[in-house]
Chain A
Amino acid sequence: MGMVEAILLTIATAATPLLLAAIGELVSERSGVLNLGVEGMMVMGAVTGFAVAYTTGSPWLGAVAAIVVGALFSLLFGFLTLTLVTNQVATGLALTLLGLGLSGMIGERFIGLPGVKMETISIPFLSDLPLVGRLVFGQDPIFYISIALTAAVTWFLFRSRAGLTMRAVGDSHDSAHALGIKVIAIRYLAVMFGGACAGLAGAYLSLVYTPQWVENMTAGRGWIALALVVFASWRPWRVLAGAYLFGAVSIGQLHAQALGIGIPSQFLSALPYLATIVVLVLISRNRRLTMMNTPASLGRPFVPDR
């Protein structure tokens, strides 16, 4: 395996959890719900994935359990913000704090245990192709899911009737309600999709990226995913571009340090954030298009008047 190939593989691993969490949050936000609990849902997914995989020996069961727990955990957020109409920002923050605490409690007895790693796939001949072999045909299954999910969400949002309905809910819940669309039900589904994706992103950390459980192992990735959605102006492929750019610069700066080029490491550590923001702001600089993509009802509570 050449060095370039190794670097590209590392970048894909770094980008996949961000992409998964961000795609989920994008759908939630497109329906008009701002869920700041991504970090909390992700860390719940991480602990569930690890615990189930460790107990059963099957990383697949772990991933499925993480998806379910992520969705259920987001359901709590949905119930509070959609049914009880609490403030979305405050509830999201509370969800993150709850997730970090609860996962620490659940995961206590799994600390210091080596986990079960989800194997990468291997296709004879194709996986051995030079340069692109491992990259295209030899990664872990969740990597392929993340790419497929991006394509599926794009199709859903912009090519399907259901997607159009959901975007309508996110843009003007009053108009959608007047048309007889079930605003609350659609938002529940969108929030749960976001939770499921965040759960899978968390499982990716504890099953593929670093197969172990330690408290707070998401280390802020949920917040980066949230920022990606905004800077990508709610467009799925831009989220993917942002996640990979962030991953590439993160890995690149580590290599720059190891090579010993004389740039201060504090600056290099900040570079992924700077580069991603600058690039995404530049590609989203058409204000009219950005306004068009921003869900107009984002974060606004909805109470049906009759």
Chain B
Amino acid sequence: MKKTILALAAATALMSVGTAMAQEKTKACFIYVGPIGDFGWSYQHHQGVLEMQKEIGEDKVEIAYLESVPEGADAERAIERFARSGCDIVFTTSFGYMDATNKVAGRFPDVKFEHATGYKREHPNVSTYNSKFHEGRYVQGVIAASMSEVGTAGYIASFPIPEVVMGIDAFVLGAQSVNPDFKVKVVWANTWFDPGKEADAAKALIDQGVDIITQHTDSTAPMQVAAERGIKAFGQASDMIEFGPETQLTSIVDDWGPYYIERVKAVMDGTWEQIDVWGGMGAGHVVMAPYANMPDDVKKLAEETEAKIASGEFDPFTGPINKQDGSVWLKEGEVAEEGVLLGLNFYVEGVDDQLPQ
């Protein structure tokens, strides 16, 4: 009995030491929608987190994360748990956490919240951040039209939300800047992540004659199918060159590291303020994997396009652009407003598909 009490006392002492040490560290917490092993969206967020911890130092910042948190009511519980457990800043990394994040933020004014890909900032302690992935898709379109022999690319899409529609439109616009007659066939997988189904979609598109595959779903399966069938493809979210050494042209790599470093440092310095960031290539949030498997002139064209977008000289959504039905959307020289893009729900001219409503 005496021994037990001693042990307990020792344990309590150790625990209080642990807490005291933890208080000196800044605690950054992360909520992921998928497993960190998806090699896509959540994986890239986690890579950014690890980069942040390495940069700032494990002795100064402590991290905690929850994987596969469903969007909706469960998310609120998870976010609140983090807020209670001493997190100084909580990052919620999927669109569906938007309302839950704002709700919890109202109850914990001393904790900072950062919501990825949303637009609601109901409290001064909520920031939102997102990346302009469509800038990368425009570059991919330019490459696709230069590389394709048949003039048709296959596009494996997930869900008809503005983010995805924006990507398809940007891809088509990029392709048409090289070949005005370029066609895109779209297949909706209605899932973010199902390697088998994504592979089947890629096979179906290739069987119907496309010779370039691009995807807005999260697995590497389409890349493998393209490699097997000997055509070219674009990766998604991470550099997938390992899965198609002779197949991948480039890939849009989500690089969240710089943003996480900046924001966690801001919390440590006490300079954190509410912001709304939609960074693209210029801000270093969207990075293109090395251009590969293409002739030098195509590579040069891609690099030039990337440089023009990154410097802000050119915006992919610059008129003249017509909507799919041929009506005018943007006049010559007109640039789409960010608000319109964030709610985009129509195709531009040249997409060979009906947008699911």
Say yes or no: is B142 at the interface (Cβ < 8 Å to chain A). Answer: no
CA A143 to CA B37, docked complex, whole Å: 29
Size class of the B contact interface (CB-based, 8 Å) = 35 or more
Chain A window 2-22, contacts with chain B (Cβ cutoff 8 Å), 1 for yes, 0 for no: 010011001000100100000
CB proximity to B under 8 Å, residues A92-143: 104, 107-108, 111-114
Q: Residues of A contacting B186 with CB < 8 Å? A: 257
The answer to whether A266 touches B242 (Cβ under 8 A) is no
Contact B201 A254 (CB under 8 A): yes
Q: By the criterion CB–CB under 8 Å, are A260 and B197 in contact?
A: no
Q: Which of A245-274 contact B (CB under 8 A)?
A: 250-251, 254-255, 257-260, 262, 264-266, 269
Q: Which residue of B lies closest to A111 (CB)?
A: B37
Per-residue 0/1 for B205-241: is the Cβ within 8 Å of any A Cβ (1 yes, 0 no)? 1011000000000011100100000000000001000
Q: Is B353's CB within 8 Å of the partner chain A?
A: yes
Min CB–CB distance B219 → chain A (angstroms): 6
> Is B55 interfacial (CB 8 A cutoff)?
no
Which of chain A's residues 214-257 have a Cβ closer than 8 Å to chain B?
214-217, 219-221, 250-251, 254-255, 257
User: Does A210 reach chain B (CB closer than 8 Å)?
Assistant: yes
Report B-chain residues with C-beta under 8 Å of the C-beta of A250: 197, 200
Contacts of A257 in B (CB 8 A): 186-188, 204, 353
Task: Compute how far the CA of A251 lies from the CA of B196 in the bound complex, rounded to whole angstroms.
Answer: 11
What is the bound-complex CA distance between A40 and B196, given in angstroms?
17
Interface residues of B in 176-207 (CB under 8 A from A): 185-191, 193-201, 203-205, 207
Residues of A within 8 A of B207 (CB): 3, 6-7, 10, 255
CA distance A211 to B31 in the complex (A): 29
Q: Which of B39, B195, B204 contacts A219 (CB 8 A)?
A: B195
Check if A205 sits within 8 Å of B196, measured CB to CB. yes
Interface size class of A (residues with CB under 8 A): 35 or more
Cβ B37 vs Cβ A107 within 8 A: yes
In Å, the complex CA distance between A205 and B189 comes to: 18
The answer, yes or no, to whether A212 is at the interface (CB within 8 Å) is yes
Q: Which residue of A lies closest to B245 (CB)?
A: A114
Tell me if A209 counts as interface (CB < 8 A to partner B): yes
Collect the chain B residues with CB atoms within 8 Å of residue A264's CB. Answer: 354, 356-357
Q: How far apart sit A259 and B203, CA to CA, in the bound complex (Å)?
A: 13
Scan residues 1-56 of chain A and give those whose CB is less than 8 A from a CB of chain B. Answer: 3, 6-7, 10, 14, 17
A212 and B187 contacting across the interface, CB-CB below 8 Å: no
| From A17, A104, A269, contact of B35 by CB (8 A) | A104
Say yes or no: A260 contacts B204, CB within 8 Å: no
Cβ-defined partner of B185 (8 Å) among A114, A210, A220, A258: A258
Q: Which chain B residue lies CB-closest to A269? A: B190
Provide the bound-state CA to CA distance between A211 and B221, in Å.
Answer: 8
A10-B204 in contact (CB<8A): yes
Q: Are A219 and B208 in contact (CB-based, < 8 A)?
A: no
A242 to B262 alpha-carbon distance, docked (Å): 54
Residues of A within 8 A of B198 (CB): 210
Nearest CB in chain B: distance from A99 CB, A: 13
Residues from chain B with Cβ under 8 Å of A211 in the complex: 224
The interface centre, meaning the residue of B35, B191, B193, B195 with most chain A CB atoms within 10 A of its CB, is B195
Could you tell me if A114 and B243 are in contact, using CB atoms closer than 8 angstroms? yes
Asked if B24 is at the interface of the complex by the 8 Å CB criterion, the answer is no
B43 → chain A closest CB, angstroms: 7
- Interface pair B200/A114, CB less than 8 Å apart: no
User: In the complex the two chains form, is B187's CB within 8 Å of A254's CB?
Assistant: yes
Residues of A within 8 A of B204 (CB): 7, 10, 251, 254-255, 257-258
Write the chain B residue with the least CB distance to A270. Answer: B190
In the assembled complex, B334 has its CB within 8 A of some CB on chain A: no
Q: In the complex, are the beta carbons of B37 and A14 less than 8 A apart?
A: no
Cβ contact within 8 Å between A219 and B191: yes
Residues of chain A lying within 8 A (CB to CB) of residue B224: 114, 210-212
B48 contacts across to A, CB distance below 8 A? none
Question: How many angstroms from the CA of A217 to the CA of B196 in the assembled complex?
Answer: 8
Residues of A within 8 A of B356 (CB): 264-266
Q: Is the CB of A216 within 8 A of B203?
A: no
Question: Is A6's CB under 8 angstroms from B203's CB?
Answer: yes
In the complex, B154 has a CB within 8 A of chain A: yes
Please, how many angstroms separate the alpha-carbon atoms of A108 and B35 in the complex? 10
Most buried by B among A6, A114, A210: A210
CB of A119 to closest CB in B, whole Å = 12
When A114-B242, A260-B353 are in contact, do A214 and B154 touch as well, CB less than 8 Å? no
Q: Contacts A7-B207, A258-B208, A265-B188 hold; do A112 and B354 have CB atoms under 8 A apart?
A: no
Tell whether A14 pairs with B187 under 8 Å between CB atoms, given A114-B242, A255-B204, A255-B208: no
**Interface pair A205/B242, CB less than 8 Å apart:** no
Contact yes or no, B219 A210, CB < 8 A: yes
Rounded to whole Å, the gap between the CB of A264 and the closest CB of chain B is 5
B273: Cβ under 8 A from any A Cβ: no
| 12 A-B pairs with C-beta separation under 8 A | A7-B204, A114-B242, A205-B195, A210-B224, A212-B195, A217-B196, A257-B188, A264-B354, A264-B357, A265-B188, A266-B188, A269-B190
Other A-B pairs, 18, CB within 8 Å; known A7-B204, A219-B196:
A10-B207, A104-B35, A107-B37, A111-B39, A113-B242, A114-B224, A212-B243, A214-B220, A219-B195, A250-B200, A254-B200, A257-B188, A258-B185, A260-B185, A260-B352, A265-B188, A266-B188, A269-B190
9 closest Cβ pairs, A-B complex? A265-B188, A215-B37, A215-B35, A254-B204, A219-B194, A210-B221, A269-B190, A210-B195, A257-B187
- Interface residues, chain A, CB within 8 Å of chain B? 3, 6-7, 10, 14, 17, 104, 107-108, 111-114, 205, 209-212, 214-217, 219-221, 250-251, 254-255, 257-260, 262, 264-266, 269
